[in-house]
Copies of this chain bind each other. A is one copy, B any other.
């Protein structure tokens, strides 16, 4: 049974960065927010292609393993793919090089001129869709073949799916820092614990993992 999954990073004060630039597409706060996750063995392997076994293997890594498991298709926003940063570049293929770490069909939500699908190495295909999120989700669910659909981000896409009540499994990685600026993620989660069951766990790194499961 396909579930709709979303993983989000947030500071303790509920901010997710909003300061991206072309040189630093995630913004300068992103590194502090994601340091514990980027330190995991699984992240080293899946994102850096480093199979030396380097990286942490504790609670953070357990969640990182789960992040990459059981995903049939992914949906991301135009901004996450990079269309807002490089709107005029018809050859833009995302931030992830020739072999993106998805390995699945990825549906990119875009209201600009339609683009042909792009087949990448490693099993990733980028499809561009301008339909309503419910319709794109239906297509992604069909294509997932019983596996899960991951909402990849960024923030405004995550917010759209959260507010539409479409997320079954939400994983919040709460980093114990106070960013004091960015998008106010908590505003989108009011009452979430009334429809979803909450668990909390702290990793060796100090990172707090909160899961909300419908």
Contact = CB atoms under 8 A, between A and B. Distances in A.
Given A14-B13, A201-B202, A190 B208 contact: no
Interface stretch (A47-55, A116-124, A142-150, A175-183): A175-183
A21 interface: no
B202 A206 contact: no
Chain A facing B: main interface SS: mixed
Nearest to A186: B13
What is the interface residue range for chain A against chain B?
20 to 34
A190 B177 CA distance: 8
A12 interface: yes
A36 to B, nearest CB: 11
Contacts of A200: 176, 202, 206-208
A198 interface: yes
Contact of A202 (B12, B13, B186, B202): B202
